[in-house]
Amino acid sequence: MTTATVAGISTLPNDTYDAEERDMAATVLGDALDDAAVEPGDVDGLYMPKPRPWTSQKFFSTFLTRWLGLDLDRSLEVYTGGTSGGTAFRSAVADVRSGAVDTAAVLAVERNSTVETDDYFEYILGIFDRQFQSPMGPSIPAVYAQSLQRYCYEHDVDRETIATVVEKNRRNAESNPDALFYESAAPTPAEILDSRPISDPLRLYECPAPTDGAAALILTSDGSDDVDVEVTGIGYDHPPSHLIGVRGESMSRLPAAAGGTEAALDDAGLDAEDLDVLEPYAPFPHVEAIITEEMGLFERGEGARAAADGRTATDGEIPVSPSGGCIGRGHPAMVTPLINHAEAVRQLRGTAANQIDGARSVLTTSEHGHVDGMNAAVFEVKR
Partner 1 sequence: MTEIEDFAGPFWEGLNRNEFRVPSCDDCGTVVFPPGPICPECGSDELTWGEIDPVGTLHSVTQQHRTPPGFDSPIVLGMIDLDAGPRLLSPIDAEYEQLSIGDRVRIEAVDYDFAFDRGPRADDPFFTAVVVDDV
Task: Determine if 338 is a binding residue for partner 1 (CB under 8 A).
Answer: no
Q: Which of 72, 244, 270, 272 binds partner 1 (CB under 8 A)?
A: 244
Binders of partner 1 in range 94-123 (CB under 8 A): 117-118, 121-122
Binding window for partner 1 (CB under 8 A); candidates: 164-172, 243-251, 304-312, 360-368: 243-251
Nearest to 377 by CA among 213, 167, 236, 211: 236
Nearest to 288 by CA among 175, 371, 195, 165: 165
Binding window for partner 1 (CB under 8 A); candidates: 54-62, 88-96, 149-157, 275-283: 149-157
**By CB neighbour count within 10 A (0-12 exposed, 13-18 middle, 19+ buried), where does 240 fall?**
exposed
Return the number of the residue (71 or 132) whose C-beta is nearest partner 1. Answer: 132
Task: Determine if 54 is a binding residue for partner 1 (CB under 8 A).
Answer: no
Return the number of the residue (154 or 174) whose C-beta is nearest partner 1. Answer: 154
Is 231 in contact with 370 (CB distance < 8 Å)?
no
Binders of partner 1 in range 176-235 (CB under 8 A): 196-202
Report the DSSP beta bridge partners of residue 229: 6, 381
User: How many residues belong to the chain?
Assistant: 383
Task: Determine if 142 is a binding residue for partner 1 (CB under 8 A).
Answer: yes
Return the number of the residue (122 or 271) whose C-beta is nearest partner 1. Answer: 122
299 three-class SS: coil
Task: Determine if 156 is a binding residue for partner 1 (CB under 8 A).
Answer: no
Binders of partner 1 in range 59-88 (CB under 8 A): none
- Whole-number Å distance between alpha carbons of 106 and 362: 19
**How many chain residues touch partner 1 (CB under 8 A)?**
41
- Whole-number Å distance between alpha carbons of 51 and 79: 8
Distance of CA 350 to the CA centre of its chain: 20
Interface residue list for partner 1 (CB under 8 A): 117-118, 121-122, 124-125, 128-139, 141-142, 145-147, 149-150, 153, 196-202, 240, 243-245, 247-248, 250-251
